[in-house]
Amino acid sequence: MNYSTLYQRSIADRDGFWHEQAARIDWRRRFDQVCDHSNPPFARWFVGGLTNLCHNAVDRHVAHRADQPALIHVAPGLGTERSLSYGQLFVEVQRMAAVLQGLGVVKGDRVLIYMPMMLEAVIAMLATVRLGAIHSVVFSGFASQVLANRIDDAAPRVIITADAGSRGGQLMPCKPVLDEALSLANRLVQHVVVVNRGLWPITMNAPQDVDYAEARNEMMDAIVPCEWVESNHPSYTLYTSGTTGQPKAVQRDTGGYAVALATSMDQIYDGQAGESFFCTIDIAWAGGHGYVVYGPLIAGMASIVHEGLPTQPDAAIWWSLVEKHQVSVMLSVPSAIRELRQHDPECLQRHDLSSLKHLFLAGEAPDEPTSRWISAAIGKPVVDQYWQTETGWPVLAVARGVQADQALKPGSQGVPMVGYQVKLMNESTGQELTEPGQRGVLAIEGPLPPGCLQTVWRNNLRFTQAYWSSFPGRKTYNTFDWATRDEDGYYFILGRMDDVINVAGLRLSTREIEGALASHPGVAEAAVVGVSDDLHGQVPHAFVVPSDPLHITQQSDRIALAAELTQTVDRALGALARPASIHFVLALPRTRSGKLLRRVIQAVCEGRDAGDVSTMDNPAVLRQLQQAVKGEA
């Protein structure tokens, strides 16, 4: 099938197209209306239909694939591997649901989950939606104050946590951090369910704390029917990464989300029932929600749940899992691939990857050299994608399940996926840009397709003002990302709108400067920020992670490489884009989901307080940045 034809139909015959896609999931009661867009920008999908996420992810598969693996948990740091079949998962989810029921959880209640990448975390998500409750997963590496802020906003009846998790060969406590967060929070939480793996000493606070093992033992034969909810009933809230100040939680529906994931698993990822899917993204992010948990399970696939880093115990761990579990599709993030690039490439060739059809990358725009490197290293096509926490599934991609020979373009995130009316808009005038090569703001005409955010949790005004008010007179969603489009309709993401710097009146994209730097073979990755300058307004400063740190141990080596990089930028973008300084570092500051923390880099360069760094993946990087600026100033 030609993908372009399918896409055009999804736009021209929106309701007819999505009516057909809705047949991919089970409905307790069929919907009365495909899309209600009578109150823009709000959209309600499959109005009146009754369904349940857990039923579609678990129950409906038991009759035909009860013995097939559903979840495969691997924790190299703990030396453990554990698998649950669909039949076993069906039983375990009901046990967890019975425990929550016994603690008073009913339809509409919130359950906050603060757990590492472990089977019980996935089971907790499924059990929550089974009851018609709303889960909110918070990354297990977040500090107590960040967690407390989310507790106050979500107002959960129950929190589910673990004693600790394993990451990079180190144990990371969860229950002690939660205890501190509860002391800081303004909300009273009735119960805390604790999954204790015996990894960290914890204190159980009666009567609030409940030992899950003991509670589960009382529910061994539990039968908990699914709570059938209207399609637009919220399934979960998820806080956008890097949030500071008042938390902002994306609210997702039930029916539209299930249909969108089922469609994407087939059309985009080419994932088939009985195969294995490996998403390396933590379940605390939208990627983990959709493609560790719900997407693969809705599709009847086995999903790998990896608790650890891509380089522990060595940089071959992912590929050993691909070989062992015959993984057919992988989804990861560019920052993880850049990390692998700094290790022995032999690790990527040690295992048989013949089962792997595709490697997809999402989360941020990868630099072209990184994409080319990993594709050559594993001998598989690498498909870049673009989507957001807010959209929940890809906006731009290549539909491998529809048109296997659809072209890939280096540096491009692909073409719009079904249902997304993507446009480029002039930042100032709000006019649509139609000529190839023009740079504009990536926008989506309403209504957003199924699976995207319904609103911001408990704040409809913030939803409309934050996403729909940028272009007066139009109900158009602003992604706040710069992009260009070529003559074939392929999009190239250039970076966030706040990643643009103004140098002597000329607006420059830091993403373009980073791309020029990363094209040099001596660069593993680069970050560029605009720093205040009395003469030019702002000037670009670059931080570079070298491909081989040993090659710049001497000052003369750093000076020589910096000169080469300056010439590279001059040739690619002109002298005005030349960085005022180039600092060499071992790592860049990122959030746990891999997004670059430019505000932190900029603050260091300008000698300001870096602000909230609680969401930073490795706080030690901040100290490295400060030392680099001080030592090379």
Pair of tokens at residue 273: 């029932």
Give per-residue pLDDT as tens, 12-42: 999 999 999 999 999 999 999 999 999 999 9
Measured CA to CA, the distance from residue 400 to residue 360 in angstroms comes to: 10
Dihedrals phi, psi of 226, to nearest 5 degrees = -70, 140
Please state which CATH number belongs to domain 504-632: 3.30.300.30
Domain 3-308+385-480 has CATH 3.40.50.12780: yes
- Residue-averaged pLDDT of the chain: 91
pLDDT at 159: 98
Q: Per-residue confidence at 628, pLDDT binned at 50, 70, 90?
A: confident
Q: Per-residue confidence at 592, pLDDT binned at 50, 70, 90?
A: low
Cα distances from 318 to residues 79, 336, 402, 616, in angstroms, run 15, 11, 27, 23
pLDDT at 507: 58
Closest CA to 373 of 320, 337, 408: 337
Q: What integer is the mean pLDDT of 596-617?
A: 79
pLDDT at 627: 87
pLDDT at 98: 98
pLDDT at 547: 87
Share of the chain above pLDDT 90, in %: 69
- Give one DSSP letter per residue of 296-347, joined into a string: HHHTT-EEEEE-S-TTSS-TTHHHHHHHHTTEEEEEE-HHHHHHHHTS-GGG
pLDDT at 536: 65
Give per-residue pLDDT as tens, 546-577: 988 877 778 888 899 999 999 998 877 777 78
For the chain, the domains span 3-308+385-480, 504-632
Confidence check: pLDDT of 589 > 80: yes
pLDDT at 266: 98
Q: Per-residue confidence at 108, pLDDT binned at 50, 70, 90?
A: very high
Give per-residue pLDDT as tens, 144-193: 888 998 999 999 999 999 999 998 788 999 999 999 999 999 999 999 99
Q: What is the pTM of this model?
A: 0.84
Measured CA to CA, the distance from residue 294 to residue 52 in angstroms comes to: 12
Q: Per-residue confidence at 242, pLDDT binned at 50, 70, 90?
A: very low
Q: Per-residue confidence at 633, pLDDT binned at 50, 70, 90?
A: very low
Handedness of CA 31, 37, 41, 42 (dihedral sign): negative
pLDDT at 186: 94
Contact 513, 583 (CB under 8 A): no
The pairing of strands 209-211 and 191-195 is parallel
Is 77 in a helix, a strand, or coil?
coil
Confidence check: pLDDT of 243 > 50: no
Closest CA to 326 of 389, 279, 274, 249: 274
**Residues linked to residue 425 through DSSP beta bridges, in sequence order:** 432, 441
Please report which residue ranges of 155-205 form alpha helices under DSSP H: 175-184
Give per-residue pLDDT as tens, 375-396: 999 998 899 999 999 999 999 9
Q: Within a 10 A sphere around the Cβ of 392, how many other Cβ atoms? A: 29
Share of the chain above pLDDT 70, in %: 94
pLDDT at 244: 39
**Least confident among 311-315, 378-382, 508-512:** 508-512
Dihedral angle over CA of 598, 373, 579, 425, nearest 10: -60
pLDDT at 247: 78
pLDDT at 334: 85
Cα distances from 439 to residues 52, 409, 526, in angstroms, run 42, 18, 22
Residue located via tokens 């934050």: 466
Which residues neighbour 555 within 8 Å (Cβ) at sequence distance 6 or greater?
none
Contact 247, 38 (CB under 8 A): no
Q: Per-residue confidence at 612, pLDDT binned at 50, 70, 90?
A: low
Measured CA to CA, the distance from residue 485 to residue 493 in angstroms comes to: 9
Name the DSSP letter for residue 199.
S
Pair of tokens at residue 189: 């939480």
Name the DSSP letter for residue 240.
P
pLDDT at 245: 53
pLDDT at 615: 65
pLDDT at 503: 67
Q: Per-residue confidence at 607, pLDDT binned at 50, 70, 90?
A: confident
